[in-house]
Amino acid sequence: MEKIRLGKTDVMVSRIGFGGIPIQKSSEEEAIRIVSSCFDLGINFFDTSRVYTTSEERIGKALAGHREEAIIATKTVSRTAEKIAEDLATSLKHLGTDYVDLYQFHNVSTEDDLKTVIAPGGLLDVVRRAKKEGTVRHIGITSHRLDVAKEAVKADCFETIMVALNFVNTEAADELLAMAKENDTGVIIMKSMAGGMLENPVLAFKYLMRFPNVLPLIGIAREGEMEENIRIVEADEPITEDDQREMDRIRKELGTGFCRMCNYCQPCPQQIMISAIMYTRVAITRFDPKRIFEGEWNTFMEKVPDCIDCGECEERCPYNLPIRERIKEAADNYAAAKKVYREKRGR
Ligand code: SF4
Ligand code: SF4
């Protein structure tokens, strides 16, 4: 499979990378088979995170024996030096390795968050030390907020940036890609399929392949799926007029009702995690049910009744989403799905 250079890391990565979210839902055996088959097909970039429950461990097991050929990227959501050091040690243990190729600050979502990460003597220095010691080879950052991502690229202290880009969420294509090129920052793309909202991989990849130096990640939930994606990527077919019409139609259809997870609606005075809550319906289909119904998602959903109806979030949302109504709907759907989950588990 064709390889591209991931910016100043100088690492050569396969034209598309493996996204480690959906394998949490499979059995361990199946997950290992999925990862191994992707490696056999020529995928060498595997992205996961400390918060994707079983994902690190499964990727580690599948790639044992191929460590030198595989590029493993993971992330931390922690924002204290002690917790980051602890997260890195846990990731190394779960991945069964003594180094990660790329260690990323996960979901840096506000300017203050970014400042905390890059402040002298702060969190970035913890990871830089790990780099010196050899447990981390390269340092990156991920963000759902384009303004924060641009600031991160401007700060020029990360070797990679991960942002959302797909044909319904094209904002990153306008300025960020040029800025990253200028600084030689490697660009990794999340939400290639708009977090599960897009169902046509042909259109999704035809759009993304227009950007020659970015690495789109694709979450794989079943064997054979990656093969299909590789075929589309390698066919390298241009966008036809029919494709363009279909993209416009989908954009229009999703246009008013679709949360881009950009987090411009934050901060919420009640600390409600709006974008995560808006994503609940898809998360239920993609994540480990234990995480959704017993882990952190519970905490997100429990906050919904704290909404004081101030409407500040809706004023900030560039897509005019009826956020208050949507988070209440999401909470009701979540409660119903949780009831089914508990009944199945007999409690
Ligand atoms: S309306 Fe509710 S969710 Fe939105 S900012 Fe106010 S408290 Fe937060
Ligand atoms: S609700 Fe609006 S502002 Fe908030 S994450 Fe979704 S699209 Fe962005």
12 beta partners? 5
In the structure, what pLDDT confidence band is assigned to residue 267 with cuts at 50, 70 and 90? Answer: confident
Return the residue whose CA atom lies nearest to atom 8 of ligand 2. Answer: 262
Ligand 2 pocket test target in 168, 191, 319 with most atoms within 8 Å of CB: 319
Same domain, yes or no, for 58 and 101?
yes
Among the bound ligands, the one closest to the CA of 256: 2
pLDDT in tens, 135-164: 999 999 999 889 999 999 999 999 999 999
Q: What confidence tens digit (pLDDT) does each residue in 307-343 have? A: 999 999 999 887 789 999 999 999 999 999 999 999 9
pLDDT above 80 for 256: no
Confidence of residue 255 (pLDDT cuts 50, 70, 90): low
Cα distance between residue 321 and residue 61, in whole Å:
42
Ligand 2 centroid from CA 319, angstroms: 7
Residue 279: pLDDT band (50, 70, 90) is: confident
CA nearest neighbour of 2 among 42, 39, 46:
42
Mutate to test the pocket of ligand 1, among 302, 312, 314, 328 (most ligand atoms within 8 A of CB): 312
Ligand 1 pocket, residue 307 CB under 6 Å: yes
Q: Is 10 a domain residue?
A: yes
Please report whether residue 17 resides in a domain.
yes
Ligand 2 mean position to 185 CA, how many Å?
Answer: 26
Q: Which residues pair with 343 in a beta bridge?
A: none
**Same domain, residue pair 227 and 283:** no
Extended beta strands in the chain, E state: 3-5, 12-14, 17-19, 45-47, 71-76, 100-105, 136-142, 160-164, 186-190, 214-219
Residue 98 lies in a domain: yes
Cβ contacts of residue 126 below 8 Å, gap of 6+?
A: 81, 84, 85
pLDDT tens profile 165-192:
999 889 899 899 999 999 999 999 999 9
312 lines ligand 1 (CB under 6 A): yes
Judgement on whether residues 101 and 191 belong to the same structural domain of the protein: yes
Q: How far is the CA of 166 from the centre of ligand 2 (A)?
A: 16
Residue that is last in its domain, among 193, 218, 240: 240
Domain membership of residue 57 (yes or no) is yes
In a domain, 267, yes or no: no
Q: How many Å apart are CA 209 and CA 231, to the nearest integer?
A: 13
323 CB under 6 A from ligand 1? yes
Pairing of strands 3-5, 12-14: antiparallel
Ligand nearest to the CA of 313: 1
pLDDT for 194:
86
Same structural domain for residues 234 and 282? Answer: no
121 inside domain: yes
Q: Whose CA is nearest to atom 2 of ligand 2?
A: 317
Supply 176's token pair.
């960020």
Atom of ligand 2 nearest to the CA of 316: 3
Where residue 285 falls among pLDDT bands split at 50, 70, 90?
Answer: confident
Number of folded domains in the chain? 2
Residues 228 and 286 in one domain: no
**Residue 345 has which token pair?**
């588990």
Residues in contact with 197: Cβ distance below 8 Å, sequence separation at least 6, in sequence order: 168, 254, 258, 282
Q: Which of 218, 240, 262 is the last residue of a domain?
A: 240
Percent of the chain with pLDDT over 90: 75
Which residue range forms the structural domain that includes residue 280?
274-344
Cβ partners under 8 Å of residue 181, min gap 6? 213
